[in-house]
Structure 1
Amino acid sequence: MSAFNAIDDEREIDREEFTPALEPQPTWCPGCGDFGVLKALKQAMPEVGRTPEETLLVTGIGCSGKLNSYFESYGFHTIHGRSLPIARAAKLANPGLEVVAAGGDGDGYGIGGNHFMHTARENHDMTYIVFNNEIFGLTKGQTSPTSPMGHKSKTQPHGSAKQPLRPLSMALNSGASYIARTAAVNPNQAKQILQEAMEHDGFAHVDFLTQCPTWNKDAKQYVPYIDINESDDYDFDNTNREEAAEMMFETENKLHEGEVLTGRYYVDSDRPSYQQEKQNIGEMPDEPLAERYFDEDYEWERSYDMFLDKHA
């Protein structure tokens, strides 16, 4: 029997299916924003129409890395900053899987920043959730790439002298085709954005503001928040790259001025995904590569044979 027979097997899905029996209760600190990510993901998955057997959750290192321990699906806990290359390989081998990668701001924007940039540039079809609490939480409160200028920590006792990284602008400049920001204190919006991100064909980046009451008390709860797509004070076209860039720049400035803006910032539904581009030029087969492991009659191809033929 194929391990992928469950894909596209339509049935009614209950969110409780995504609560594991082995470790159902998360051990994050009380008040941690990570609970909000887990709840939103569990609520969004049935709306997308995916079962645990149709889903792969790949995580990095840090508090966010425990996400796939508390979420029932296929899971892969990678090393620091390396969730995206693992997720990319899995999606290319078996496009029928719903692939979600997750990591913290240090994991995703620091140690794994190079993978983030190029996964967005190539527009791989997956969702990337970054738990952005502006601190290294698991390692006890060091300054991260998104910590605000002047923030004091164990690694910057006199305050950070650097401007924080701008994750939304970075995603746009790198080539992501869906970019959004939400917050753990806004569960309804978070669920809707994660649903849209997973339904999007291409690389969807969700910057998820998650408060850390233990190690980053400066960030507080990220409230009050404003949904830019519903507010009359903000009027822009999120399918227009230039207007999206201006809105992102304003959002990233205002976060550290005490005004939290969230919503959908950029959506490009016309750009083909990496997989589609590879299929269009004949470098990737239409059938899932993973299925070949279960086809006893398949005659395996070896890449070195193609190179030998070219140089013979």
Structure 2
Amino acid sequence: MSAFNAIGEEREIDRDEFTPGNEPQPTWCPGCGDFGVLKALKQALPEVGRNPEEVLTVTGIGCSGKLNSYLDSYGFHTIHGRSLPVARAAKLANPELEVVAAGGDGDGYGIGGNHFIHTARENHDMTYIVFNNEVFGLTKGQTSPTSPKGHKSKTQPSGSAKTPIRPLSQSLNAGAGYIARTAAVNPNQAKEIIKEAIEYDGFAHIDFLTQCPTWNKDAKQYVPYVDIQDSDDYDHDIHDRTEASQMMFETENKLYEGEVLTGRYYVDDESPSYQQEKQAIGEMPDEPLVERYFDDDYEWERSYDLLDRHK
């Protein structure tokens, strides 16, 4: 067993292990969709054989940032929009750790948008859950990057003049290998999608629709919803990039027309992860970096020993 990651023999995991012993009282509003994310994550982690000592949840600022306060695992609460670079560093240092990053639509698609694009492009092996409620919730209802055109808020009292971003399409264009959308009102699908995302070897992006009954009453409860994998009206090959792109475009249009489509949109089973590519070219050791901290005999390398001097 590693002295760092506490990963030991396989055993049956109970979902209650992910509930803190001294459970904090959630401060999410009654009816908030964030409860659905927490429940689905607690259900998915045991099913992939992970225990609390094998999981790191990295969160940003916002209502979603409270996730690791209510989940018994390693946790890191970052500054606004910076959950992904911290998550990437942790995964590269200890690849055996299951890393789940989380943030809101303002945190992930706005303030942290640049990190989102490049983490997807580099295909880092982690799961990224974006709590998408189409509004800045914790700061009391400002317009976010996913707020629909015409949405009125404190920052856009006459209605937003901007077309919202398309997070699914943006994720595909950036290079994410697993892309899905689910909703808090569909707990069974949410659990299965999170489970698949965790098991995926690469960057898995989940756009998780989380209703905000306090600050975004326009979005209601994201119902009725349609699972595109179960509907006879929709049929696309999730391994075909072109078909996935077309399905995403239709899904993103329909959301603002009142029809909620959810499901798996794209899965790339061939692209290597960032870690695999770095190891293939000799720029990353096979031995996890964190193991060196527990080896008293390890002779540390310094950058000036590895690089040629400039002449």
Q: CA deviation at 1:305?
A: 1.7
Q: Deviations over 1:222-252 (max 9, x none)?
A: 0000000111100110100000000000000
1:161-200, aligned counterparts within 5 Å? 161-200=161-200
Distance 1:8 1:256 in 2: 47
Distance 1:100 1:304 in 2: 34
Query: Aligned letter for 1:236?
Result: H
Partner of 2:25: 25
Q: CA deviation at 1:27?
A: 1.6
1:102-251, aligned counterparts within 5 Å? 102-251=102-251
Distance 1:8 1:204 in 2: 25
Query: Aligned letter for 1:41?
Result: L
Q: CA deviation at 1:6?
A: 2.2
Q: CA deviation at 1:25?
A: 3.3
Distance 1:302 1:244 in 2: 45
Distance 2:61 2:70 in 1: 15
Partner of 2:69: 69
Unmatched 5+ stretches in structure 1? none
Partner of 1:3: 3
Query: Aligned letter for 1:300?
Result: W
Q: Secondary structure at 2:135's aligned position in 1?
A: coil
Q: CA deviation at 1:12?
A: 0.9
Q: Deviations over 1:11-35 (max 9, x none)?
A: 1100000001233432200000000
1:86-101, aligned counterparts within 5 Å? 86-101=86-101
Query: Aligned letter for 2:242?
Result: E
Query: Aligned letter for 1:132?
Result: N
Q: CA deviation at 1:2?
A: 4.8
Distance 1:106 1:3 in 2: 37
Query: Aligned letter for 1:58?
Result: V
Query: Aligned letter for 2:161?
Result: A
Distance 1:150 1:162 in 2: 8
Q: Secondary structure at 2:269's aligned position in 1?
A: coil
Query: Aligned letter for 2:93?
Result: A
Q: Secondary structure at 2:217's aligned position in 1?
A: coil
Q: Secondary structure at 2:30's aligned position in 1?
A: coil
Q: Deviations over 1:100-152 (max 9, x none)?
A: 00000000000000000000000000000000000000000000000000000
Distance 2:276 2:22 in 1: 38
Q: Secondary structure at 1:159's aligned position in 2?
A: coil
Query: Aligned letter for 1:103?
Result: G
Q: CA deviation at 1:3?
A: 3.4
The size of the alignment, in residue pairs, is 311
Q: Deviations over 1:171-197 (max 9, x none)?
A: 000000000000000000000000000
Distance 1:216 1:5 in 2: 40
Question: TM-score scaled to structure 2, two decimals?
Answer: 0.98
Query: Aligned letter for 2:3?
Result: A
Unmatched 5+ stretches in structure 2? none
- Retained in 1: the 8 A contact 2:178–2:197? yes
Q: Deviations over 1:56-98 (max 9, x none)?
A: 0000000000000000000000000000000000000000000
Q: CA deviation at 1:8?
A: 4.3
Distance 2:49 2:180 in 1: 21
Q: CA deviation at 1:266?
A: 0.2
> What is the percent sequence identity of the aligned residues?
84
Q: Secondary structure at 1:195's aligned position in 2?
A: helix
Q: Secondary structure at 2:107's aligned position in 1?
A: helix
Query: Aligned letter for 1:26?
Result: P
Partner of 1:278: 278
Distance 1:136 1:46 in 2: 31
Q: CA deviation at 1:212?
A: 0.1
Distance 1:172 1:5, change over 3 A: closer
Question: TM-score scaled to structure 1, two decimals?
Answer: 0.98
